[in-house]
Amino acid sequence: MSVQITSAIPLVFLIISEGGWNVNYSPKSICALNVSTVTMGCTYTYPSGYVIVKTLWSTELVEGNQEPSDISLDAEYRDRVEYLGDKQSNCTLILRDVTEQDQRKYYFRFITNTATGKWQGQDGVQLFVTDLQVETPEEVVEGDDVTLTCKTTCNLTGPSYIWYKNGVSLSSTTKALNLKTVSSEHAGSYSCAVLGQSHSSSAVILDVRYAPKRASVSITPSGEIVEGSSVTLTCSSDANPPVQSYNWYKEKTLLGKENTYIIPNISSEDSGEYKCKSTNQHGSKYSSVILNVMYPPKNVSVSISPSGEIVEGSSVTLTCSSDANPPVQNYTWFKEGGTSPVGSGQTYSFTISSSSSGWYYCVAQNKYGSHSSALSVILKGEKWVYTIMELD
């Protein structure tokens, strides 16, 4: 029961013919990773009595008497293909180092000992080749739940994925890498690969954005601030993207909108709390600093008590007061005509006598300087009177 096959006989006839001329590709479609090795599982059948003289794989599907080109002779494939099949029923082919250029259909062809006993498996096996690409959300803000995906253009069958952050492998083995409530520590360079395969995705930078944090105000020059000096306040913070606007406040008053605020000739009234508000599109952060401006004594004045009538033989107390920062450390009292102090401390007491007449000076001093004030006690006719004078 030999069937005489000629090229004129339509394929329909061949399919229904006894014994079965057939090529079965399994699977019919393959998704392969770039530079991986692909096994194209294949079996074939033909009516009994035929002897296979030639088998080949091709990228061409031919009709009639034409012969498809053999990929094992093609420079593009020659070094990468290996026929694992035989001349009976197995037509399995291995293709190594597949790339995107290999993405097409492949057909198995076998030729028997009879001139017309040839067959090419029409369906072919479809090869898809994919690379790996890390897909990240367009913008990631601290606190977001983020999913990175190791994207492929076709569905790889059941691979285990490997994820890398800054070249160090992570524990996730799935196609999706879930990052819960991300912080700036999650920022970095991510890539993915498939277990057992050399190809890996290119690295993608995950940029985690956040509102300003760790804000601070620095003062230059550092150290004590003395009245009359020039002081620069600088606001700094860590923010991503960088701070877009600054606002300086003292109490509720807006002072400036630069990164720095300069007080060229600082005075005691400039003491107090300065706040800087740093803002980017994700939020604001306040930071503050307290300026304590140092100055030598000022508004030094002497008062006398009792303040009423001064009577000879009575005791009077002079009190020196002043405004200074730091407060006056040393009050020193002098009497007109004398070179050495008559007293020290904030008060000076003495008993009124005929020799008490004259100017009494108080010198108030702190480490930044001194300032004086004076009071005179004089016997005018029958009465003692006093006069106060502020000195420069």
Between 229 and 260, name the residue whose CB sits nearer to ligand NAG: 229
* CA 99 to the chain's CA centroid: 36
Residue placing its CB nearer to ligand NAG in the complex, 70 or 102: 102
How many whole angstroms separate alpha carbon 53 and alpha carbon 271?
Answer: 102
3-state secondary structure of 327: coil
CB of 353 to ligand NAG, least distance (A): 26
CA distance 323 to 301: 10
Task: Work out how close the CB of 230 gets to ligand NAG at its nearest, in angstroms, rounded to a whole number.
Answer: 9
Min dist CB 392 to ligand NAG, Å, is 12
Least distance (Å) between residue 330 CB and ligand NAG: 3
Judged by the rule CB under 6 A, the positions of this chain that interact with ligand NAG are 34-35, 43, 84-85, 90, 92, 99-100, 131, 154-155, 228, 265, 267, 299, 323, 329-330, 332
Residue 299 beta carbon to ligand NAG: minimum distance, rounded to whole angstroms: 4
Residue nearest to ligand NAG (CB): 131
**Contacts for 224 with CB less than 8 Å, ≥ 6 apart:** 294
Q: Which is nearer to ligand NAG, 5 or 162 (CB)?
A: 162
With beta carbons less than 8 A apart as the criterion, state whether 207 and 185 touch. no
In whole angstroms, how close is the CB of 172 to ligand NAG at the nearest point? Answer: 19
Shortest Å distance, C-beta 175 to ligand NAG: 10
d(CA 205, CA 189): 4
Q: Are 272 and 289 in contact (CB under 8 A)?
A: no
Q: Considering beta carbons, is residue 93 or 276 the nearer one to ligand NAG?
A: 93
Q: How far is 92 from 308, CA to CA, in rounded Å?
A: 124
CA dihedral 290, 322, 334, 344 (to 10 degrees): -70
CB nearer to ligand NAG: give 2 or 329. 329
Q: Which is nearer to ligand NAG, 182 or 266 (CB)?
A: 266
Q: How many CA atoms lie within 13 A of 25 on its CB side?
A: 21
Nearer to ligand NAG, 30 or 148 (CB): 30
CA angle 276/286/272 to nearest 5° reads 55
Residues in contact with 15: Cβ distance below 8 Å, sequence separation at least 6, in sequence order: 21, 22
